[in-house]
A and B are shown apart, each in its own frame.
Chain A
Amino acid sequence: AQTVTQSQPEMSVQEAETVTLSCTYDTSESDYYLFWYKQPPSRQMILVIRQEAYKQQNATENRFSVNFQKAAKSFSLKISDSQLGDAAMYFCAYRSLISGNTPLVFGKGTRLSVIA
């Protein structure tokens, strides 16, 4: 079974600065998707960014980018120019390509605080 590990329970960043959230995963599969989700106090999970394992190029969405190291099974999220609205729980998630049913497997999350 796949597992996702987020080793940083909490992180903080000054407004306008850059922060990196870490994620490692364990799988024997070669094809899969990786995701970062944001969960603000409203509790709704919002997709931040997605990476297909077969793509070597790191995904980027505006101020959010990832560092995907497939051999190391590492998938970190970098938030540039941090804003107060970025404060939330961030979850790393894995999705297998193997079977028809492919639920998301989540890590335990990292709580990000943004300091004004």
Chain B
Amino acid sequence: DAGVTQSPTHLIKTRGQHVTLRCSPISGHKSVSWYQQVLGQGPQFIFQYYEKEERGRGNFPDRFSARQFPNYSSELNVNALLLGDSALYLCASSRRSTGLADTIYFGEGSWLTVV
């Protein structure tokens, strides 16, 4: 089975623009989470979606939004990009929302550079 897949792998945007990042979870996984990893830091939680509903949100501005589709894939949208949004955006999937024994699987990330 394919792992968590993310697209695009790399992209460059200009300040003020909008970006959409995409994620396909592992088959059978219904929970998708997004993390932002700034260079030299550990990942920070942005959103979690389960069964197409937002189940958690980290400390990020309203410029960040996400959604989950009926096939459990997900999009992360960022509006009005700032230089500080340059980061690796990681998508993670697991079978359930509250299954703490579930292993969380990560994709290889989308590297966003804002110039």
- Does A pair with B? yes
Cα A50 to Cα B99 with chains together (Å)? 14
Contact of B98 among A33, A102, A109 (CB under 8 A): A102
* Residues A45 and B106 in contact in the complex (CB < 8 Å), given A100-B55, A103-B58: yes
**Number of A interface residues in the complex (CB < 8 A):** 24
| Nearest A-chain residue to B44, judged by Cβ | A106
* Residues A45 and B90 in contact in the complex (CB < 8 Å), given A97-B100, A101-B48, A103-B48: yes
Question: What B residues does A45 contact at CB under 8 A?
Answer: 43, 90, 92, 106
Determine whether the beta carbon of B109 is less than 8 Å from that of A44. Answer: yes
Cα A31 to Cα B77 with chains together (Å)? 34
* Residues A105 and B104 in contact in the complex (CB < 8 Å), given A44-B109, A45-B90: no
B interface, CB within 8 angstroms of A: 3, 33, 35, 40-45, 48, 55-56, 58, 88, 90, 92, 97-98, 100, 103-109, 111
A interface, CB within 8 angstroms of B: 4, 33, 37, 42-47, 50, 91, 93, 95, 97, 100-109
